[in-house]
Structure 1
Amino acid sequence: MGTFTTNSGMTVGYRDRGEGPVVLAIPGGPLRDADYLEEFGGLPDEGFRLVTLELPGTGRTPTPWDPAGWSAAAVADHVEELRQHLGLEQIALLAHSAGAGAAYVYSRQHPERVARMVLVTPSNRCLGLEDTDEEWERQRNKRAHEPWFHSAHEALEQMAQHGPTPELRAAMAPLLYARWDARSQGHSRVGQDDRTGVAHYWRGLPPRPELAAAMRHVTTPVRLLTGELDMAPGPELASRMCALFPDATFTQLSGCAHFPWIDEPEAFRVALLTALG
């Protein structure tokens, strides 16, 4: 556990576990408490030092007074200030889901500081890439047999139209897991207490085509780990995301949805260690 002070005088928290090469992790959510990442594939037990940023309004990082402080761009600034605080020339950057938005912005601003980037079930939202109707239908149909599917999918559509609420997040949560069992149900509630700034997270970013085009300057290895059952990205969309980078590949994890360390922890651990090279 630690804190550092930003250039603006704000205190930001981070979690620091293990010894070895540093992997700097950005949680998703957006703006979800880092508890939900757990040990993120057991990296501290695999010879890595896992440093996890505590996002605005979570852990020891206070609620921003300016709405812009909730944004992925502000989180990217915290990543750079944390890198400086740790005294690192370069970082291996690990991001989950919406955390990838901050990773894209950071790598646009500081491509020379990124030694490697691993994106786990990453968001495509700010890159201007979307799955086609056919791709969405294929991913959707993989879960259509589940008894909870219709209510969960309805909640997902309501979120797309009207924005997230705690009730809608809870109702659509089964879509995010391969098995809606006690383990998944418990995990779905972790780190959900206060996500006040979610509406501001994607605001104030570079235009999507500009941000996507900037990824060609990220010449270090980029590895995507995607879930076979995740709603997005499916394999076609993941391929298009990889095409933005000079050196990017994706691995699709069988039997996994949005949280592969919950669905198939051993397979995820192996894939993550491989991706970190």
Structure 2
Amino acid sequence: MTSTGGFVSETGSLRAGPFDLGYTIEGRGMPLLIIGSTIYYPPTFSWKLREKLGLIFVDHRGFAPARTEYASGDIGFETVLTDIERLRAHLGLERFAILGHSGHGYMALEYAKRHPGRVTRVVMVGTGPSHSARHMALADQVWEETVSPERKAIFERDMAALGTDIAARPEDRFKSLLIRLGAKSWHRPDFDAAPLWLDVTVNNAVFDHLWGEVFRDIDIRKGLSTLKAPVLLALGRSDYLVAPASTWDEYRGNFADLTVRTFEKSGHTPQLEESELFDEVLLSFLGSRPGCG
């Protein structure tokens, strides 16, 4: 254990097939399991949250170092969900809230469907209903019809440099893409996200499969009837990476308990862009209904 920002921080890893899945525990209080990278995600959440919650950051296979070569059978969605259960058991978690940002929101939701007795709350941040062609076309339509010429100019400038980035570091093509998509990702279109990605392991094949295929075809309605835990959907007004908030309307009736909150001065990552308001909304949601123990 080490001391970070005044809090005890515990780190470790769990071997899962070819991968070493890292975990980091920071803070105290109600456990909140956050799926994604144990390097990228901790800096995006405020230190004040650590005073109220025990934040448990866990890697999935897209962000985990691989000790050996891996095949397509090692990176399926069901395998990723099984890994979350492995980590839960390894960490001794009994009842907890779960959070997923962007595509990780699907992981959080699908895990909760499969383990309703474990999950008290589900939080999806910056997640669209799917990455289908229809939903992505609607995102493009909002971009074309509502975005300022200044933001579009920044986007064109940054995308023009993407090819050079990938040619120089092909192994970092996913990271390079997300950094260059800043005008679609952040409320402030010239925000430089590169420091957040330093030292982050990215397995491109995992993202190609999950983001390019699984989340393209996903139907989140399946299995929702088993999920009684309240769900918070946190969206940024300036998020042009995913389908617009209005696309969630046709799904609302499928949730037993859904709260939707739009952050007016955020893009894809409201927990960082409007951290104080995000903390308030999150803590209120986690403590506002029965079953959060």
Q: Distance in 1 between matches of 2:84 and 2:184?
A: 30
**Structure 2 matches for 1:95-134, cutoff 5 A?**
95-125=100-130, 130-131=134-135
Letter in 1 for 2:81: A
Contact 2:23 2:57 in 1 (8 A): yes
- Tell me whether 1:51 sits opposite 2:56 in the alignment: yes
- Tell me whether 1:69 sits opposite 2:74 in the alignment: yes
Where does residue 160 of structure 1 map in the other structure? none
TM norm structure 2: 0.74
Contact 2:25 2:57 in 1 (8 A): yes
Q: 2:224 aligns with which of 212, 215, 230?
A: 215
TM norm structure 1: 0.78
Cα deviation digits, residues 195-237 of structure 1 (max 9, x gap) = 322212255689734x522112211100000001112342212
- Tell me whether 1:225 sits opposite 2:234 in the alignment: yes
Shift of 1:135: 6.5
Secondary structure of the residue that 1:201 maps to in structure 2? helix
Q: Distance in 1 between matches of 2:125 and 2:77?
A: 17
Structure 2 vs 1, CA of residues 193 and 21 (structure 1 numbering), >3 Å: closer, same or farther? closer
Quick check: 104-113 or 137-146, which moved more? Answer: 137-146
Q: Distance in 1 between matches of 2:197 and 2:33?
A: 24
Cα deviation digits, residues 152-177 of structure 1 (max 9, x gap) = 68999xxxxxxx75554443222101
Q: 2:29 aligns with which of 2, 20, 23?
A: 20
Where does residue 3 of structure 2 map in the other structure? none
Gaps of 5+ in 2: 1-10, 163-172, 288-293
Where does residue 266 of structure 2 map in the other structure? 256
**Structure 2 matches for 1:1-277, cutoff 5 A?**
1-6=11-16, 11-27=20-36, 34-42=39-47, 44-56=49-61, 58=63, 62=67, 65-125=70-130, 130-131=134-135, 136-145=140-149, 146=151, 147-151=153-157, 167-181=176-190, 184-187=192-195, 189-190=197-198, 194-197=202-205, 198-202=207-211, 208-209=218-219, 211-231=220-240, 232-277=242-287
Contact 2:237 2:265 in 1 (8 A): yes
Q: CA-atom RMSD, angstroms?
A: 3.4
Contact 1:55 1:61 in 2 (8 A): no
Structure 2 vs 1, CA of residues 272 and 5 (structure 1 numbering), >3 Å: closer, same or farther? same
Q: Distance in 1 between matches of 2:248 and 2:199?
A: 27
Gaps of 5+ in 1: 157-163
Shift of 1:47: 1.8
Shift of 1:273: 1.9
Contact 2:45 2:271 in 1 (8 A): yes
Shift of 1:48: 0.9
Secondary structure of the residue that 1:266 maps to in structure 2? helix
Letter in 2 for 1:52: F
The count of aligned residue pairs is 262
Q: Distance in 2 between matches of 1:192 and 1:5?
A: 18
Where does residue 167 of structure 2 map in the other structure? none
Cα deviation digits, residues 137-164 of structure 1 (max 9, x gap) = 23544433323144568999xxxxxxx7
Contact 1:26 1:53 in 2 (8 A): yes
Letter in 1 for 2:274: E
Structure 2 vs 1, CA of residues 171 and 12 (structure 1 numbering), >3 Å: closer, same or farther? closer
Q: Distance in 1 between matches of 2:264 and 2:140?
A: 18
Letter in 2 for 1:14: Y
Cα deviation digits, residues 101-149 of structure 1 (max 9, x gap) = 22233123222222110111114326x6954866652354443332314
Structure 2 vs 1, CA of residues 152 and 242 (structure 1 numbering), >3 Å: closer, same or farther? farther
Instruction: Give me the identity figure in percent.
Output: 23
Q: Distance in 1 between matches of 2:135 and 2:38?
A: 28
Shift of 1:57: 5.4
